A and B are shown apart, each in its own frame.
Chain A
Amino acid sequence: RKEVEQDPGPFNVPEGATVAFNCTYSNSASQSFFWYRQDCRKEPKLLMSVYSSGNEDGRFTAQLNRASQYISLLIRDSKLSDSATYLCVVEQGGYSTLTFGKGTMLLVSP
């Protein structure tokens, strides 16, 4: 079983739509969780960390369910500039290395 699994998409949505991405992870000892964003042919960049209590940053909301080993990212009021690949990332407990999901591509159209 892949350690971090994501729906590959692509998700095609119109501007203004709300879109949700899901991610599951297999290592119950994982300590930290993140969403990274990667534009085409560019380097990944941290979008936001994910906390058990849930956290919000503007139009972006991240949720973590440790019992289900499930992470989500919600984007409200999608913008054209949100078009990118969103990577679910898990820090492996004990090794402190990051394991990346394959990413979910989002395409926002006018």
Chain B
Amino acid sequence: DADVTQTPRNRITKTGKRIMLECSQTKGHDRMYWYRQDPGLGLRLIYYSFDVKDINKGEISDGYSVSRQAQAKFSLSLESAIPNQTALYFCATSETGGPEAFFGQGTRLTVV
């Protein structure tokens, strides 16, 4: 089983719908992140959390919200999906003070 698990892996949704992407980890890391990846734009940070009570906006947080339900769970919500939120979304974790980020397998989201 993967250490960082994202669900769903693929999702097609309609404009205006609310959608939640979920991430869970078994690595015991405090830090969790949500990134999106677009062709030609690379990985961009949406939100990050350094512990359960800490939530921070990243580079492109508009249109997104997050919830850190537990150390192991970090979910990303699109309150009202729009087509330009079509992208590959990655959740990642890291240890406090540790350099390496461990990524989930990604969620391919299409907004039509």
Shortest A43–chain B CB gap in Å is 4
Interface residues of B: mostly helix, strand, loop or mixed?
A: strand
* Interface Cβ pair total, 8 Å cutoff: 44
Question: Is the C-beta of B105 less than 8 angstroms from some C-beta in chain A?
Answer: yes
Which residues on B sit within 8 Å (CB–CB) of A41? 88, 106
A100 to B101 Cα, complex, angstroms:
12
**Is there contact, CB below 8 Å, between B106 and A43?**
yes
A32, B95: Cα distance in complex, Å:
14
Check if A102 is an interface residue, CB within 8 A of chain B: yes
Is A46 in contact with B100, judged by CB distance below 8 angstroms? yes
Interface residue total, chain A, C-beta cutoff 8 A: 20
CA distance A98 to B46 in the complex (A): 12
Q: Which residue of A lies closest to B101 (CB)?
A: A98
Contact with A along B76-99 (1 / 0, CB 8 A): 000000000000101000000101
6 A-B pairs with least C-beta separation: A43-B103, A102-B42, A100-B43, A46-B100, A100-B42, A32-B99
Binding site for A on B (CB under 8 A): 31, 33, 35, 40-45, 48, 50, 58, 88, 90, 97, 99-101, 103-106
Since A41-B88, A44-B43, A96-B97 are in contact, a sample of 10 more A-B pairs with Cβ atoms closer than 8 Å, ordered by chain A residue number, is: A43-B103, A46-B100, A49-B99, A96-B50, A97-B33, A98-B45, A100-B42, A100-B43, A102-B40, A102-B41
